[in-house]
Amino acid sequence: MKQNFSFFFLLLSIICFGQIEEKKLDELIQNTIKTFDVPGMSVGIIKDGKIIYSKGFGVRSLTTRQPMDDNTLVGIASNSKAFTCVALAILADEGKLNWDDKVSKYIPEFQMHDAYVSQNVTVKDLVTHRAGLGLGQGDLMFFPEGGSLTVNDIVHNVRYLKPENPFRTTLDYNNIMFIVAGEVITRISGLSWANFIEQKIMKPVGMSSSFGSYNRAKSVSNKIDAHAPVNGKAIAVPHDWNETANAAGGIMSNIKDMTTWAECLMNNFTTKDGKKLVSDKNIQQLWSLQIPSAVAAKNPYDTSFYGYGLGWFLSDVKGHKQIQHTGGLIGTVTQFTLIPDMKLGIVVLTNQQSGAAFNTITNTVKDSYLGISDRNWLKTYSERMKKMEEEFNKQKKEAFVKSEAFRKEKHLHPKPEQLTGTYNDQWFGDVEISQAGNTYRIFCKNSPRLKGEMLPYSNNTFIIKWDDRSYDADAYLIFNYNENGKAESAKMKAISDVTDFSFDFDDLDLKRK
């Protein structure tokens, strides 16, 4: 823009978002991606029905070095859950389901571990994280990418997951139930989940560049590569979300479309052609607290309530109701935030798995509208992450040091006939342990990318060092031997708290075949 000293044009050249200027926000984003080693990030802000900020920064791929912009497609991960719930609301408005219908009405073969829960679990229970399954329980059926189990397999295998909580008592975030909810949509509509989302939601809303699944976006060139830190530095990693889990996290979108989505929601779920996506009755359902969770006594936004609605986390921030969700895949994380009474929406999409990065941006922008002076969230999260990484690295180092010391000591290490063979977990499937020279290897049949070397750790325990180092999910494999010294069963446990909860090793109960 040419220099112009008129007051009017000066105001146009320095756009302010509350108390934060466009230039300052640009600098913050650039500093954030540098601080947290995020190759690329796109950010969108909608205020009072207008998109006032929509930009990309960095590169969409460290391999191609092509720039990230507001058209770059990103896997929004669990921000897809809101679409699943809106899809159910559409079916409810059409009179094709009720939120309190039993799941067995639509999926007769569906069972949970407990007979009472099987008979009583409802559609609403599926999408409120209150059916009793624990945090991430069962996620290994689709996570990491590349697994072989189908939606029908997952629906069947739920019966083998022993709930960690009593029915309808606890909010424990769970993806598997959303996969079942997606199957409810398919059984009622006759459409695949991705087709339903594209036809019934994305098209009327005006999300013209988005897709219901990663596979549908394969021909698009302007999309990210996923990136994850390996040995302290981000690298490109495989990114092909399992089709089985689309209802829990499969959508590919960009900043332009996600701010369009935010605009629709804050405009009372009204589409581009002026029609309501869902009724007021069901909007109330979607954005009402269905299951509460504890709130820390001291928190940065004086939050007094927190919990889950239908597809969104709900809370209050400085007296305003907040609708928010995050999403995370291996190599990418996203955040979607609405404060409806302020007509404010903030969307952050990234191609690296740093939640500290999106929180830095969202909180800074949010604070500017709430009238809170700069709290330097970049510094706060940077210091917090350094401390956490130090602790995580300590946990990992201690495990491997102990393993190496044990290996060098003169112990009677297990013989192949004591360990090798096939072990089975009812919901996860077969795990094969084989001899490879002087060591052992593990291979998970239904999740073929989960394979690695077994390092001796103690008399009955090995460390599994996964071949894919981007997982950061090395785990203990603990054997139980019979009276003849032959392994009968095994349990698993992550060696470090850095491991993503979707690597739900603790829930495995491996029995030797």
The rounded distance, in Å, linking the Cα atoms of 117 and 485 is 40
What is the arithmetic mean of pLDDT over 289-316? 96
- State residue 414's pLDDT score: 83
**Tokens standing for residue 294:** 């504890």
The overall average pLDDT reported for the chain is 94
* Whether pLDDT at 441 is above 60: yes
Residue ranges covered by each domain of the chain: 42-371, 407-512
The CATH number that domain 407-512 falls under is 2.40.128.50
- State residue 240's pLDDT score: 67
- State residue 425's pLDDT score: 98
- State residue 19's pLDDT score: 62
Q: Which residue has the tokens 């599926």?
A: 126
- State residue 174's pLDDT score: 97
* Whether pLDDT at 460 is above 80: yes
> What are the beta bridge partners of residue 510?
490
- State residue 206's pLDDT score: 97
* Helices and strands (H, E) in the chain, number of each type: 15, 22
E strands in 261-305:
291-292
* Whether pLDDT at 188 is above 60: yes
- State residue 438's pLDDT score: 86
| Per-residue burial over 47-80, b = 16 or more CB atoms within 10 Å of its CB, e = otherwise | beeebebbbbbbbbbbeeeeebbbbbbbbbbbbb
- State residue 207's pLDDT score: 98
- State residue 351's pLDDT score: 97
Residue-wise pLDDT for 472-494, tens only, equals 999 999 999 999 999 999 999 99
- State residue 24's pLDDT score: 95
- Name residues whose C-beta falls within 8 Å of residue 413's C-beta, 6 or more positions apart in sequence: 456
Residue-wise pLDDT for 203-257, tens only, equals 999 999 999 999 999 999 999 999 999 999 999 998 767 889 999 999 999 999 9
- State residue 12's pLDDT score: 36
* Whether pLDDT at 13 is above 80: no
Between the CA of residue 335 and those of 162, 324, 350, what are the distances in Å?
Answer: 31, 8, 9
328 and 500 in contact (C-beta within 8 Å)?
yes
- Name residues whose C-beta falls within 8 Å of residue 321's C-beta, 6 or more positions apart in sequence: 287, 314, 315, 339, 340, 341
* Whether pLDDT at 11 is above 80: no
Q: Which of 59, 334, 93, 71 is nearest to 207 (CA)?
A: 71
The rounded distance, in Å, linking the Cα atoms of 19 and 17 is 6
Residue-wise pLDDT for 359-405, tens only, equals 999 999 999 999 998 899 999 999 999 999 999 999 999 999 999 99
Identical fold for domains 42-371 and 407-512, yes or no, is no
How is residue 73 annotated by DSSP? B
Domain range 42-371, its CATH number among 3.20.20.60, 3.40.50.1110, 1.10.230.10, 3.40.710.10: 3.40.710.10
* Count of other CB atoms within 10 angstroms of residue 461: 19
**Tokens standing for residue 412:** 């009677």
**Tokens standing for residue 241:** 């979300």
How is residue 223 annotated by DSSP? B
pLDDT, greater one: 322 or 10: 322
pLDDT, greater one: 382 or 6: 382
Between the CA of residue 370 and those of 266, 318, 335, 363, 373, what are the distances in Å?
Answer: 18, 8, 19, 10, 9
Report how far Cα 303 is from the mean position of its chain's Cα atoms: 23
Sign of CA dihedral 284, 285, 286, 289: positive
> What are the beta bridge partners of residue 51?
46
* Whether pLDDT at 90 is above 60: yes
pLDDT above 90: percentage of residues in the chain: 91
Give 90's Cβ-side CA count (13 Å radius): 21
Q: Which residue has the tokens 């929180």?
A: 359
